[in-house]
Structure 1
């Protein structure tokens, strides 16, 4: 009898801007759930008049007149995260225009990718870019196409006057070409935080999209801002400024950070982008309230009054991977294995190990005797010019290794690209030996696969720390791939021990699998109707449309 047709909802917000914004977001959410229920908001005369005026402006600046500009940093993991974000934003605001901007080679590759082909609504805009003008090899427009020695040059190229000018011209054209009532929202990578100044000057809203985790981002922010290892007492461990409840080890600092002194080019770049990020209107981050409560608390402390909106997990699905012989061959190999029996190994698209580390890892895999799929790349510092590196593998793998594991059907070496999502989603996959890049972390936990951590660079060390200390779903086996961090040598016996600790039949392994399933459930719930990440996304849209901070009261 009491159907939604006969429901009348009365909203009574406290008279403050942030409370009004939150109640208006709630009103929209309730209306979508019960479209025929009556909703009335009550307040004082002045507030009602102001709210009616803002509602009128909001009706003009609806999602139909919103144009979202996506500006990812040119690296495979960043592109993947932004494409996932594009799909998520489109599902929430299907009639909003959306354009991704990047350099010519990257736009061409993205248009041809399987992930982008599943996003027909997404437009692309090319920013002129000539790599040679920035000291980069010809055709090298993405971090994935560069050896480590050229990384800094690409970082500097992405904030060059020529790219800034081209981006400013595009945003100007977008704001001038849109209807006067339109809202233009620039969503940029943290490494491109300078875009906040362009957005401000052209009357557009601005947000930073952090494709990494909250804990790792907060730690990384503090490390670059303060360089605390320079002033810490002798020894490996020191407390983190701004977050003294966190202990950091020197072995968790990758080389550019470890050798930074504040006057070096890496410090200048990171500190510059951190300063620009403080001028943004909001921060979107690829995580959930339930998964990273500690990290989000730290990040909100870092960002002051800027709203921090966790909208994850944003992960691709196996159908977004390119079909073909390589993918089909891997899946067929997995089909022939027992359930939860296979170890998957990958260090991402930009990382690899030292030759001696690869030797030890290969030896450990044979000793462990468990089935494995290894997405393998030439080692760090290799002068191998082949795309797949197979011609010189005898220099950094035990003699006859590939032939033996293929012959006894123990292992599958996948040279170069591997269908990671299909592997992690497969019933035979039991564990993931990973560098703990954030995309890999989310893809692993959303598929219920525990992690054996071997972080190599950036915030990966702190991703592994969070997975281990907060959730108990990761066993860290080693750190780093260069001698500078003092941990480049890892013994094969230690690797075997970690593999058994995660994949074995012990009570500890069983408990880790149970916790991984628990994490999988809570992370996926955040994206369901009424979940925390969906609520955060609605708050973000409200703040962008109204020009106010929905999280601030």
Structure 2
């Protein structure tokens, strides 16, 4: 049957790091003739493409409000969406019954409650994971097995995952705060647990990953979920041409950034960025900037605009000493990351290891320096350093911050021309490009997913 009869509701969590990859996946579905209705909030409308294809529709939903400052931000946003978006989507779907009714919901990992919405709409719900298969395997195991730790601050407080491939071990502080911070059994903890269990019960899961990157964990996920509806369709990135704006505007022009990079030698620049939601402490910032100074390397340093007193600022005098637009370039605010990483002069990427940044680093073929801060980042760092061999460990949160001299040495190592990490970086870059190329594994997986959705709709029509 025609893919035009398949109508997917794409529902991201309303944060740019979640909206952007789901938008990229949406574009791939649209290119296959699938109808997509994007459920989006007003603040994220600027992320939408300017020229809508005819098979893309939007349903604008109320912006989440969380008036209680003491409530966890994630819990507040998701609770608002469940309470206020749910009835709007139901009413909208009923109005579509005579046109092209929804045939599936593709929703973010944080929106586990949409499994219940899909049940009310009599359609399957697919989980879109903003994390990789390794990270999600750890999270699913964590909430299923519910390990305890009576001494979370102890140096030997570790959690092992013997049922996962390679039996990974993590320190307690490396696990997601959603599991370790709330009181076990309390309302917030149970909220997160329900979200995970609803994700596990959903019809399938879609990863922004690819087989050659995480095959063993993708296979593990199929085994754990007891079905084959696990698709690795990534990296879902706009490799060419790059969009003018991808998530925000910068305080500096692309022309100036590219001019600086054009003046550098091939592979000589380290790009430093911790994502749009991570802010360094004063100590972390002092160590980082001192290390950049000591390393002698050229660099692009992207930092968020400090919004609270605990956020570290670039130390006074640093810019003057390294000579911005001389040896270093400072960006405050959004950075055109894909374009920077893809420049010939960038050889290393110091990153917090958010999954979007990991994938952008991989397709650019740069060596990564890992400095995870929370969420899935410790898991991603372990994958990059210990299993894939494509990265150098730089630091960990506030717990393991090396001396500036040591961090400088790690930066120098990451910029080395013939290291084992650089060889692996090139291998994985090629593997990523093969996966998304014509006939590649990710293209085949996406076709298989679309086929399953068409069959599900066909079965529903026949009943």
TM-score (norm 2): 0.89
Q: 1:156 to 1:200 in 2, by over 3 A?
A: closer
Q: 1:296 to 1:437 in 2, by over 3 A?
A: same
**Secondary structure at 2:396 match in 1:** coil
Question: Which residue pairs with 1:345 in the alignment?
Answer: 272
- Aligned partner (choices 68, 72, 76) of residue 12 of structure 2: 72
Residue-by-residue CA offset, 1:115-161 (whole Å, 9 max, x unaligned):
x2265443221113462xx3268xxxxxxxxx9963442233233x2
Q: Alpha-carbon deviation of 1:255?
A: 4.1
CA distance in 1, matches of 2:78, 2:308: 20
- Aligned partner (choices 18, 26, 43) of residue 105 of structure 1: 43
Q: 1:264 to 1:361 in 2, by over 3 A?
A: farther
Q: 1:277 to 1:535 in 2, by over 3 A?
A: same
Q: Alpha-carbon deviation of 1:310?
A: 0.8
CA distance in 2, matches of 1:328, 1:177: 50
CA distance in 1, matches of 2:253, 2:187: 41
Question: Which residue pairs with 1:123 in the alignment?
Answer: 57
Counterpart check, 1:272 vs 2:199: no
Counterpart check, 1:284 vs 2:218: no
Listed as ranges, the matches of 1:384-533 within 5 Å are: 396-406=313-323, 409-481=326-398, 486-487=399-400, 489-505=401-417, 509-533=418-442
CA distance in 1, matches of 2:213, 2:230: 15
Question: Which residue pairs with 1:308 in the alignment?
Answer: 230
Q: 1:130 to 1:315 in 2, by over 3 A?
A: closer
Contact in 2 for aligned 1:193/1:277 (Cα 8 Å)? yes
Q: 1:470 to 1:77 in 2, by over 3 A?
A: same
CA distance in 2, matches of 1:375, 1:302: 39
Counterpart check, 1:189 vs 2:123: no
Greater helix fraction, Structure 1 or Structure 2: 1
Q: 1:374 to 1:547 in 2, by over 3 A?
A: same
**Secondary structure at 2:212 match in 1:** coil
Q: 1:100 to 1:512 in 2, by over 3 A?
A: same
Contact in 1 for aligned 2:205/2:230 (Cα 8 Å)? yes
Q: Alpha-carbon deviation of 1:97?
A: 1.8
CA distance in 2, matches of 1:276, 1:172: 24
Question: Which residue pairs with 1:359 in the alignment?
Answer: 286
CA distance in 2, matches of 1:408, 1:503: 20
Counterpart check, 1:88 vs 2:88: no
How many equivalent pairs are there? 450
Q: 1:297 to 1:266 in 2, by over 3 A?
A: farther
CA distance in 2, matches of 1:466, 1:374: 24
Q: 1:192 to 1:177 in 2, by over 3 A?
A: farther
Contact in 1 for aligned 2:288/2:404 (Cα 8 Å)? yes
Q: 1:264 to 1:474 in 2, by over 3 A?
A: farther
CA distance in 2, matches of 1:248, 1:88: 36
Counterpart check, 1:157 vs 2:84: no
Q: 1:458 to 1:382 in 2, by over 3 A?
A: same
CA distance in 2, matches of 1:232, 1:535: 47
CA distance in 2, matches of 1:496, 1:315: 31
Computed over aligned residues only, the root mean square deviation of the Cα atoms, in angstroms, reads 2.7
Q: 1:293 to 1:171 in 2, by over 3 A?
A: same
Contact in 2 for aligned 1:183/1:545 (Cα 8 Å)? no
Q: Alpha-carbon deviation of 1:186?
A: 1.2
Contact in 2 for aligned 1:309/1:537 (Cα 8 Å)? yes
Contact in 1 for aligned 2:103/2:457 (Cα 8 Å)? no
Contact in 2 for aligned 1:450/1:474 (Cα 8 Å)? yes
Residue-by-residue CA offset, 1:257-284 (whole Å, 9 max, x unaligned):
3334422444222211112223322211
Counterpart check, 1:177 vs 2:111: no
CA distance in 1, matches of 2:111, 2:344: 39
Question: Which residue pairs with 2:452 in the alignment?
Answer: 543
Does 223-232 or 402-411 show the bigger shift?
223-232
Q: Alpha-carbon deviation of 1:71?
A: 0.2
Larger Rg over CA atoms = 1
Residue-by-residue CA offset, 1:82-121 (whole Å, 9 max, x unaligned):
1110111122x22x221110223323x334xxxx226544
